[in-house]
């Protein structure tokens, strides 16, 4: 008998507190499975099927790494897939960082580096655009000319 088949039996024999605990554990399992399936579907959408990756799409699978999600207020460990952008795009970003840093006061550089790191590891187009917008906003507070240069190069970088 599988764990799912035992749930109704366990609920029938449980008091209210135990039934609540069983229900929450079952719900947590379902949400976890849903999150893992959603991440896998997003990777397939970006990279194509595993057996026939989309070479022209600009994204490639890059293994997996440990991650955490919050389910019902608790941290749950998951293995999340990684997706990388093509090397040309990464190289452009690597060159944009020192050019931008050179135009900023010393006090703004540490935060700028942190924001660029966030952009380098961004997963998906929306996350990349959001991270880039944060960089531009931060840079604009310190040097509008540097921010304008980033905005102009933005389409080529993302």
Residue 141 reports pLDDT greater than 90: yes
* Mean pLDDT over each residue of the chain, to the nearest integer: 80
**What is the SS3 assignment for 51-83?**
CCCCHHHCEEEEEEEEEEEEECCEEEEEEEEEE
Please tell me which residue, 57 or 90, carries the higher pLDDT value: 57
User: Taking the complete model, does pTM exceed 0.75, yes or no?
Assistant: no
**Between 115 and 87, the higher pLDDT residue:** 115
Predicted pLDDT of residue 134: 92
Residue with tokens 């840093």: 101
Q: What is the DSSP letter of 87?
A: H
Q: Any idea which residue has 């580096």 for tokens? A: 113
Q: Would you call 15 helix, strand, or coil by DSSP?
A: coil
């Amino acid at each position: 008998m599988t764990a799912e088949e035992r749930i109704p039996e366990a609920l029938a024999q449980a008091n209210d507190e135990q039934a609540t605990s069983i229900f929450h554990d079952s719900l947590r399992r379902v949400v976890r499975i849903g999150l893992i399936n959603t991440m896998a579907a997003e990777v397939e959408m970006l990279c194509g099927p595993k057996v026939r990756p989309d070479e022209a799409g600009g994204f490639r699978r890059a293994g997996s790494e440990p991650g955490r999600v919050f389910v019902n207020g608790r941290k749950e460990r998951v293995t999340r897939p990684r997706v990388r952008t093509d090397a040309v795009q990464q190289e452009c970003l690597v060159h944009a960082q020192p050019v931008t840093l050179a135009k900023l006061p010393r006090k703004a550089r540490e935060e700028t580096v942190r924001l660029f790191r966030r952009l380098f590891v961004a997963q998906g187009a929306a996350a990349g655009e959001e991270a880039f917008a944060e960089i531009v906003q931060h840079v604009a507070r310190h040097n509008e000319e540097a921010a304008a240069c980033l905005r102009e190069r933005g389409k080529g970088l993302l």
